[in-house]
Amino acid sequence: MFVINCPYCGEREQSEFKAGGEAHIVRPKQPTELSDDQWAEYLFMRKNIKGIQFERWVHTHGCRKWFNVVRDTSNDMIKAVYKMGEKPPTK
């Protein structure tokens, strides 16, 4: 069980949070203009990386805010947290 540094509340136990899958997948603004394949790409395709992964988390049993986490899935080490709308760290 890891400790997540919520950008709004600070360090809390993992059990207070819920994971929300890969980050930075933006819902298309005009879904009706997409082909089946393009829509399927948005809807179904997700990365499952061994290593550095950008993902969404929500502080369910806390402030209920969504934010982004950079996690190394091979050892669960969290490299960075940042708010929704902020640019992902490059390093």
Partner 1 sequence: MTKNLRVKTSRFIDETYKVSFKFNGTTYYGYKGDTLASALLANNVHLVGRSFKYHRPRGIMTAGSEEPNAIVQLHKNTSRTEPNVRATEIEIYEGLEASSQNCWPSVNFDIGGINNFLSPILPAGFYYKTFMWPASFWEKYEYFIRKSAGLGKSPKEPDPDIYEHKYIHCDVLVIGAGISGVMAAKSSAKNGYKTLLVDEKPYLGGSTIYQNSEHFKINNQISSSWLEKEINEIKKIKNLEIKTRTSVAAFHGYNFLLARENLTDHLPLEQRNNKTRHRLLKIRAKKVITATGSLERPLIFNNNDRPGILLSSAIEKYANLYGVACGEKNVLFTNNDSAYETAISLNQKGINIEAIIDNREEIDSKLINEIEKNNIKIHKGYTIVDTFGYKRINKVSIMKLSKDGQKVIGSKTSIDCDCLGISGGWTPAVHLFTQSGGKLKFRDEDQVFIPNIYPSNQISIGSCNGEFTLDEILLTIPKTLKEFLNLKDIDFEDLEIESSFNKSKRNIWLLPSDKVIGKTKPFIDYQNDATAKDIKLALREGFRSIEHVKRYTTTGMGTDQGKLGNMHALGIISETVGSKMGELGTTTFRPPYTPLTFGTIVGRNVGEYFDIFRKTPIHDWHVQNKAEFENVGQWKRAWYYPKDGENMHDAVQRESKAARDSAGILDASTLGKIDIQGTDASEFLNRVYTNAWSKLAIGKCRYGLMLNEDGMVYDDGVTTRLDENHYIMTTTTGGAATVLGKLEDYLQTEWPELDVYLTSVTDHYATVSVCGPNSKKIVSQVIPDLDFSDESFPHMSFKNAKIGKIKCRVMRISFTGEHSYEINIQANYGKSVWEKCMEVGKEFKITPYGTETMHLLRAEKGFIIVGQDTDATMTPIDLQMDWIVSKKKYDFIGKRSLYRSDTIREDRKQLVGLLTENPDEILEEGAQIVADIKKSPVEMLGHVTSSYYSPNLKKSIALGVVKGGKNMMGQKLIIPMEDKQISVTVADPVFLDKENKRLNA
- Nearest approach, Cβ of residue 3 and partner 1 (Å): 5
40's enclosing H/E stretch is helix 36-44
Taking a C-beta distance cutoff of 8 angstroms, is the pair 55, 8 a contact?
no
Does 76 interact with partner 1 (rule: CB under 8 A)?
yes
Q: Are 84 and 68 in contact (CB under 8 A)?
A: yes
Closer by beta carbon to partner 1, 49 or else 74? 74
Nearer to partner 1, 47 or 83 (CB): 83
CA distance 76 to 28: 30
Nearest to 9 by CA among 18, 1, 17: 17
Shortest distance, CB of residue 48 to partner 1, whole angstroms?
A: 19
Annotate each residue in 27-66 with x if it binds partner 1 (CB under 8 A) or - if it does not, as one string. Answer: x--xxx-x-x--xx--x------------x-x-x---xxx
Minimum Å distance from CB 91 to partner 1? 21
